[in-house]
Amino acid sequence: MTHIRIEGLGHAFGAVAALDGLNLTVRHGEFVVLLGPSGCGKTTLLRMIAGLLEPNAGRVLVDGHRPEPGRDTAMVFQNYRLIPWKTARQNVEFARPGADVGRYLEMVGLSRFADAFPAALSGGMRQRVALARALAAEAPILLMDEPFASLDAQTRELMQGELRRLIAARPATVVFVTHGVDEALALADRIVLMSPRPGRIAEEVRPGPGMREYLWQRLREMVLNDPGSDFYGREG
Amino acid sequence: MIWGMRFGLLAGLILLWEWWAPGGLLPTPGQVWRAGVALLAEGRLWRAVGDSLSIYVSGMAAALVGIPLGLAMGSFRLFGRVVDVFVFALAATPRVAFIPLIIVILGLGFEAKTFIVFLGAVMPVVLNTYAGVLAADADLIEMARSTGAGRRRIWRHVVLPGAMPFLATGLRLGATIGLINTVVAELYTAVRGLGGLLAIYGNTFRMAEYFVIVLMLAIIGVIVTEAMRAVEAHLSRWRGER
């Protein structure tokens, strides 16, 4: 059953087209990964699904209506976006006042650090607080914008495992943005490959044998053929 | 540790002063100490400190109106954009230029002095509070919106606490300028308080007594600045050790 429906979505920032004619559907409980090089509009698309950005064209529907932030969707950002003057407990509670904060901090293994300010936590711990905050919202859709991008490889792998465990315990529809092929293959039910400038859906694939090499090749082609990319013209 | 080093530096400076001071017009530390003891015994110094502090505290209390004004300017953008140019103009004009006008309107007494202190102290409070609200973190505001928070909740939990370190800096700067303006007010209007003693002893070349007043002003300045620093540190304690 369709949970998120995106129809003819288009958006431009001034003269720069970010998305153009994008269509996508996501089913209830599906884990969809948006994969693509920098500048392909992944974050813009996620902000529109979250209801944080109004599209210039097309629409996003969640269960047939416009998404309502906090009620339909909860978001995890790349740079944590924890409120620095609030403790871990207060940050989680901010998502839903009156929530059983202890339970969510326990889910991410941070019960002992409930009263710590973000400045005292490591990158991985901060991201776990951000994850607990998103879970505390109890929204049916979890939107994750490169949440593990700023973590070291080891912590990233741990966090991916943690996320899989949490989603298994508390099912949700997940739209996860990354530009990492391995991360996409580790997490996704379905991978939506996006091409840059303007952002469009190039292809949809499912994780499987041989897919790693294939996706690397496709991303490489996109980067090399993108006039806006720093890599343009390096070959040849 | 830091206070020990500060007292060490102070002792070194006093020794240097003792060694270098020729006596006569420039008094030695010993002469200043004796003058200070005499002024305290007469009760003259305490009366002057009391007079100056009452003006200073009244002016600073009035300057707190800068907090709601700065918050309003930052929170209601149209209001802020209309008003800020006038505040900048007022802040850039030397406050001494207003003193004749203040004397004409408010006279030479307590009200005029308090207003001169207020005029100096309120500007950094308004401007820093205004800047603090404008500097609100757009990423945090978007995060708050993503949780479904409305304008009022975002203002209370994100914008206002984020502006607090700016506000504290404004208060600290305002407190320093307010102290300077207290002396200026006492020099330009009815000669009273520490500023008044400064004028009397300066004009009669009683330099030992003059230095006592200067040192008393410096001590009040240090106490006020350290207190405001403590407030600033408390409001920014979430930043952790730096």
High-pLDDT (> 70) share of chain B, %: 97
Asked whether A178 and A47 are in contact (CB, 8 A), the reply is no
Instruction: Give the mean pLDDT of A122-136.
Output: 91
Per-residue model confidence (pLDDT) at position A221: 82
Instruction: Give the mean pLDDT of B73-86.
Output: 94
B172: its two tokens:
């600290």
Least confident of A85-94, A225-234, B122-131, B165-174: A225-234
Say which residues have a Cβ less than 8 Å from residue A172's Cβ, sequence separation at least 6.
A29, A139, A140, A141, A142
Per-residue model confidence (pLDDT) at position A50: 93
Instruction: Pick B147's closest partner by Cβ from A70, A85, A120.
Output: A70
User: How many angstroms separate the CA of residue A95 from the nearest CA in chain B?
Assistant: 5
Instruction: Pick A79's closest partner by Cβ from B139, B145, B162.
Output: B139
Statement: residue B97 has pLDDT above 90: no
Cβ contacts of A70 on chain B, cutoff 8 Å = 146-149
Query: Where is mean pLDDT largest: A159-168, B7-16, B47-56, B186-195?
Result: B47-56
**Contact criterion met (CB < 8 Å) for B146 and A74:** yes
Instruction: Pick A81's closest partner by Cβ from B139, B149, B157.
Output: B139
Per-residue model confidence (pLDDT) at position B23: 64
Least confident of A96-105, A153-162, B78-87, B168-177: A153-162
Average confidence score pLDDT of chain B = 90
Instruction: Give the mean pLDDT of B120-148.
Output: 95
Instruction: Give the mean pLDDT of A188-212.
Output: 88
A159: its two tokens:
């966090």
Mutate which: B140, B146, B236, B241, vs A, most A CBs within 10 A: B146
Instruction: Pick B240's closest partner by Cβ from A68, A75, A119.
Output: A119
Widest CA span of chain B, in angstroms? 74
Instruction: Give the mean pLDDT of B66-70.
Output: 96
High-pLDDT (> 70) share of chain A, %: 95
Per-residue model confidence (pLDDT) at position B24: 64
C-alpha of A107 from chain center? 20
Cβ contacts of B162 on chain A, cutoff 8 Å = 85
Instruction: Give the mean pLDDT of B41-64.
Output: 93
Tens-digit pLDDT profile for residues A163-174: 888 888 888 899
Per-residue model confidence (pLDDT) at position A200: 84
Provide, for chain A, the percentages of residues in helix, strand and coil under a 3-state DSSP scheme, each rounded to the nearest 5.
35, 30, 40
Residues of A with CB under 8 A from a CB of B: 50, 52, 68-71, 73-75, 77, 79, 81, 83-86, 94-96, 117-120, 133, 137
Mutate which: A81, A91, A101, vs B, most B CBs within 10 A: A81
Q: Which residue of A has its CA nearest to B160?
A: A85
Interface predicted TM-score of the whole assembly (ipTM), two decimals: 0.88
Cβ contacts of B240 on chain A, cutoff 8 Å = 117, 119-120
**Contact criterion met (CB < 8 Å) for A83 and B239:** no
Per-residue model confidence (pLDDT) at position A233: 46
Per-residue model confidence (pLDDT) at position B38: 92
User: How many angstroms separate the CA of residue B162 from the nearest CA in chain A?
Assistant: 8
Tens-digit pLDDT profile for residues A96-106: 998 889 989 98
Statement: residue A229 has pLDDT above 70: no
**Contact criterion met (CB < 8 Å) for A133 and B147:** yes
**Contact criterion met (CB < 8 Å) for A86 and B144:** no
Average confidence score pLDDT of chain A = 88
Statement: residue A108 has pLDDT above 70: yes
Taking the CA atoms of A213, A216, A222 and A223 in sequence, report the sign of the dihedral they define: negative
Residues of B with CB under 8 A from a CB of A: 139-140, 142-149, 157-158, 161-162, 164, 238-240
Q: Which residue of B has its CA nearest to A121?
A: B240
Tens-digit pLDDT profile for residues B199-208: 899 888 888 8
Beta bridge partners of A10: A57
Asked whether A206 and A193 are in contact (CB, 8 A), the reply is no
Cβ contacts of A54 on chain B, cutoff 8 Å = none
Query: Where is mean pLDDT largest: A52-56, A162-166, B19-23?
Result: A52-56
User: How many angstroms separate the CA of residue A116 from the nearest CA in chain B?
Assistant: 9
Cβ contacts of B157 on chain A, cutoff 8 Å = 83, 86, 94
Q: How many interchain CB pairs under 8 A, A with B?
A: 55
Instruction: Pick B148's closest partner by Cβ from A70, A84, A119.
Output: A70
Statement: residue A231 has pLDDT above 90: no
| DSSP for B149-205, written as a single string | --HHHHIIIIIHHHHHHHHHHHHHHHHHHHHHHHHHHHHHSS--HHHHHHHHHHHTT
Per-residue model confidence (pLDDT) at position B148: 92
Statement: residue B92 has pLDDT above 60: yes
Tens-digit pLDDT profile for residues B150-190: 999 999 999 999 999 899 999 999 999 999 999 999 888 87
Asked whether B183 and B198 are in contact (CB, 8 A), the reply is yes
B93: its two tokens:
């004009």
**Contact criterion met (CB < 8 Å) for A52 and B158:** no
Q: Residues B41, B47, B52, B57: what is their CA dihedral angle, to the nearest 10 degrees?
A: 110
**Confidence label for A235 from pLDDT (cuts 50, 70 and 90):** very low
Least confident of A53-57, B20-24, B51-55: B20-24
Mutate which: A94, A145, A146, vs B, most B CBs within 10 A: A94
Per-residue model confidence (pLDDT) at position A228: 65
Q: Where are the alpha helices (DSSP H) in chain B?
A: 2-20, 29-42, 44-63, 66-75, 77-92, 99-106, 110-134, 138-146, 151-154, 160-188, 193-203, 207-235
Per-residue model confidence (pLDDT) at position A162: 85
Tens-digit pLDDT profile for residues A18-32: 888 899 999 999 999
Statement: residue A234 has pLDDT above 50: no
Per-residue model confidence (pLDDT) at position A206: 92
